Amino acid sequence: MTSHVTLPDPSAEIIAVQDDLVTLAPLADHPLIKNEVVYIIPHGPEREGRPTEYLKAEVLRVRGKTAEAQVFESTSGVRVGDKVIQTGEMLSVALGPGLLSTVFDGLQNPLADIAAQHGFFLPRGVLTNALDTARKWSFEPAVKSGDQVRAGDVLGKVPEGRFEHRIMVPFSLKGKWSVERVREGSYTIDEIVVTLKDDRGQTRDLTMVQHWPVRRAIPDAMVSAGQSERLYPSEPLITTLRLIDTFFPIARGGMGCIPGPFGAGKTVLQSLISRFSAVNIVIVVACGERAGEVVETITEFPQQSDPSGDGTLMDRTVIICNTSSMPVAAREASIYTGITLGEYYRQMGFDVLLIADSTSRWAQAMRETSGRLEEIPGEEAFPAYLDSAIKGIYERAGVLTNAEGETGSLTMIGTVSPAGGNFEEPVTQSTLGTVKTFLGLSAERAYKRFYPAVDPLLSWSRYHAQLGDWYQENIGPDWVARVEEMIELLGRGDEISRMMQVTGEEGISTDDFVVQQKALFLDMVYLQQDAFDDVDASAPLARQQETFDLVYQIATRDFAFNDKDSVRKSFTELTSLFKNLNYAADGSKERNGLISQIKTLVGNLPTAQ
C-alpha cells in the first residue's frame, strides 16, 4: 500500500479557469516555472466535510508573473481563488524496484493500490506514491567505502522477480563523488543505503529510488558526462512474426509504426509483438481511450507463460493506461512516462520494447491543449510543433552502452489510428518521416482475412541495409537480395491481379497467370500467420528461414504449364500443404512428411527446358 505524500504550503492561486486549463498567479515572491508540477486545492461550501483534493497540473506557459497550467484531472468545482501548491519540480517519475508487474495511469499512479484503498470508482485528487514504500528489498552493495562514483554508476543490486535491478547513482548528480558509507540488508525504497561525499566535504544520502523528469531523455545526461555511449542499431528485433522478421524488420533499439483503420488488427498484432519479441522488458502505453484491449492485456498477461523465460508475461511488463475519468491531458503525459521507464531499464543493460497505442490519441491531446492556449495551428489544427514533438519521442529509442560496459536497447513501436485509414493525415505523415519501419495495415486485407493485415506493397523497412552485416553473418550473404526479389514478385502479382479484374483470366497469358499465382502463394503461406494457433503464432528465425527457402525455390522456379487450370490446381495443392506445414511442430513426423510431399509435388511439376 502507498503512503501519504507530503507537500509544501500553497504559494499561488487560481485567477482563471478554462476547461482543463487554469491560469495561476503567485501569492508572494514565488516565481512560476515552465513544466513545473503544481497541485490545485479546490475549496468551497460543497467541499466542507470532504477529504482534501490535490489536483495535479503542469505549467505549460509563463507570461510575466502569471502562468497557464494544464490539469491532469477533472476541473469540476475549481474556481477563482483556489490555492495552488508549487512543488518546484518538473513532471517526473519514480525510478526504483517495484515497477514491473504494475499497472499505472499516465501520471504513474498505481491503479491497483488506489482501487484497494478507494474502490474501483477512482476518486480524483488522491496523493499516492508510485512505488510501494512498505515493501522491503534485499540490497546487495556493488561498491565499498572510498570508491569513486558518478551519475549512472551501479551502487548495488536488488532482485526484482527474475531480474537483477540495478540501484544507480542518480542521473542528475553532477561531478565525481566518493562512497562514504554503504549498508547491506533488507530496506524499503525510502531508507538510506548509501552516503556519498564530494571533494568539498558535502554529503548526500541516497535511497533505492530516484526521480527523473519525463520530458528529458536519461541517456542525454549520461552521454554528455562520458559515462555511456550511443550505438548504431545493428541487430534485428526478432518478433517471430514472418512478415516482420523477413520482409520488414525492425532493428533492436530502432523505431517502427503500425498505422491502420479500425478493425484492421492493430491490437492483435501489437499483442503478438509484445508477447514473442526477444526482449527483457515490455512497456505497454495505452495513451488513448482503450477499453477491451487494455482489459484483455491486464487479464491475460498474468495467466500466460513468458516464452522467453520463467514466470508469466506480466512479470516482465509495465502497463500504463489512463482511466476514463482523466482528461485528455493525461494522454499526453502517459507516453513520456512510459518512455522514461524504458530508458531506465535500458540503462541497466536490458533490452526494452515500448508499445504505444495509439500516438494519434496522444497527438489529439496536444491539439486540444494547443487550441486552449490559442497557439497558431498547423495542418488540421494540430500544433505547428507536431512534427518535432513526434520526432522527439521516437528519437529517445536507441542502443546504449552504460557505465558498466553493458549494452541495453529501447525499441519503440507506435500504432497510429488515422481517421478512415487515411495515411496522408499529419500524424501518420510526421511519424513516417521519423521511423525506419512502416507496417501499414489494410482494411481490404483484413476484410479478406489476410492476417496480419499488413499490406506488403505499402509497407517498407529502411533497416535491410543497416542490418546487412548481421544477416550475412547469421543467415546468408544473399538473404536481403532474395527478400527484395520476393517483394518485387508481390508487386508484379498485384499488377496482374488488377489487370485480371478488368479483362478476366482470358485477358492474360499463362506465364502472367503463373506469376500471379506465385505471388498469391507467397502471400498466403508466408505473409499470413495464425495468431491463435499454438505453433504458427510464433515462428523462430530458424523455422522462418527453412520455410522461406522452400517458398523461394518454388517462387523462382521456371515452370512450363500448358493451361491455367493446371496452374491453379498445382498452386492450390501447394498452398494447402504449406498451410499444414505452418501448423506442424518443428522436428515432428508430420512436418517432415509434409516437407517430403512438397518436394515431391514440386519435382513433378513441368519446368522449362
pLDDT score for 292: 56
- Mapped to the 3 state alphabet, what secondary structure does 111-164 carry? HHHHHHHHCCCCCCCCCCCCCCCCCCEEEEECCCCCCEECCCCEEEEEEECCEE
At 224-277, the pLDDT tens digits run 556 666 788 999 999 999 999 999 999 999 999 999 888 888 888 998 999 999
483 confidence band (pLDDT: 50, 70, 90) = very high
pLDDT score for 138: 97
Q: Would you state the cell numbers that stand for residue 80, as one nine-digit string?
A: 477563482
> DSSP for 233-270?
--SB---S-HIIIIIS--BTT-EEEEE--TTSSHHHHH
Alpha carbon of 316 to those of 29, 89, 92, 308, 353: distances in Å? 46, 30, 22, 10, 11
Give the mean model confidence (pLDDT) for residues 395-411.
Answer: 90
pLDDT of residue 1 exceeding 50, the answer is no
The annotation places the binding site at: 260-267
pLDDT score for 373: 87
At 421-447, the pLDDT tens digits run 889 999 999 999 999 999 999 999 999
What torsion, rounded to 10 degrees, do the Cα atoms 208, 213, 219, 224 define?
-100
Q: What is the Cα Rg of the chain in Å?
A: 28
Q: Would you state the cell numbers that stand for residue 241, as one nine-digit string?
A: 512474426
At 553-609, the pLDDT tens digits run 999 999 999 999 999 999 999 999 999 999 999 999 999 999 999 999 999 999 876
pLDDT score for 119: 80
The annotation places the binding site for ATP at: 260-267
| Residue type, position 115, single letter | A
**Which element (helix H / strand E) includes 551?**
helix 541-555
Domains, the chain, ordered by start: 12-90 (2.40.10.170), 137-208 (2.40.50.100), 242-461 (3.40.50.300), 479-604 (1.10.1140.10)
Instruction: Enumerate helices (H) and strands (E) in the chain, giving the number of each.
Output: 17, 26
Q: Would you state the cell numbers that stand for residue 5, as one nine-digit string?
A: 505524500
pLDDT score for 52: 86
pLDDT of residue 4 exceeding 70, the answer is no
pLDDT of residue 543 exceeding 70, the answer is yes
Strand, coil or helix: 591: helix
pLDDT score for 214: 94
310 confidence band (pLDDT: 50, 70, 90) = confident
Give the mean model confidence (pLDDT) for residues 40-51.
Answer: 77
| Residue type, position 479, single letter | W
At 133-161, the pLDDT tens digits run 999 999 999 999 999 998 889 999 999 99
pLDDT score for 609: 63
pLDDT score for 289: 54
pLDDT score for 2: 44
Beta strand segments in 307-430, E: 317-321, 351-357, 398-401, 407-416
pLDDT of residue 403 exceeding 80, the answer is no
Among residues 334, 263, 275, 266, the alpha carbon closest in space to that of 300 is found at 275
Among residues 512, 532, 358, the alpha carbon closest in space to that of 441 is found at 358
At 173-210, the pLDDT tens digits run 988 999 999 999 999 999 999 999 998 889 999 999 99
pLDDT of residue 68 exceeding 70, the answer is yes
